[in-house]
Amino acid sequence: MAVSKLQGREWFGAAMLARDHGGNTVLICRSIMASSVMAARLLIIRLSFERLKRQGVERLWCKAGGKKWLNPIAGNTVVDWRLHPVHEDINKLRESFEFLGIFTASHPLAREVKKLADKAAETRVSYSWP
C-alpha cells in the first residue's frame, strides 16, 4: 500500500497491490479526498480489506512501510472522532482475516505501487481490478 500527495494538489493518491501464491492479482488505485495523510491511509486500508474480503481472501501477509502503516493495519492507532467510523470498520474487517505476519523487507513491487499512488495523486483516478 502507498499514499502520495503532490504539492499544490487537494487529493491524495492511494494504491494497493495484493498477490496470492498463484500470481493472481488484486489492484486498487484511487484518488482520495482526505483531510490528512492518516485519513487517506485509513481509507485505503478499509477499501483494501473490503476488496480482499469480497475476493474470498482468508489469510494475509502484509508488507508495511514502518509504523506509519503497521499501526493502522494492526489497529493500534488513536484517531479523532471524525475517523472513528473508518477505524472501527478496519477493526471489524481485520477480524475476518488470519494474519500470518507483517513484514518490512523490501519487495520488488513496492516501487510500482508507489508509482500508482503518485499517478493517482496527479490525476483523479478510480481503478480496481478485478
Spatial separation of the C-alpha atoms in residues 73 and 85, rounded to whole Å: 15
Domain-located, residue 112: yes
Provide the pLDDT for residue 65.
65
Given a cut of 70, whether residue 66 has pLDDT beyond it is: no
**What pTM, to 2 d.p., does this model score?**
0.86
Pairing of β 12-19 and β 98-103: unpaired
Cβ partners under 8 Å of residue 72, min gap 6? 38, 41, 42, 45, 90
Given a cut of 70, whether residue 64 has pLDDT beyond it is: no
- Could you give the number of structural domains in the chain? 1
- pLDDT per residue over 78-109, tens digit each? 888 999 999 999 999 988 888 766 666 677 77
For residues 62-78, average pLDDT: 77
Mean per-residue pLDDT of the chain: 86
Domain-located, residue 130: no
Provide the pLDDT for residue 90.
92
Copy the grid coordinates of residue 4: 502520495
CATH number at residue 120: 3.30.420.10
Domain containing 18 equals 2-125
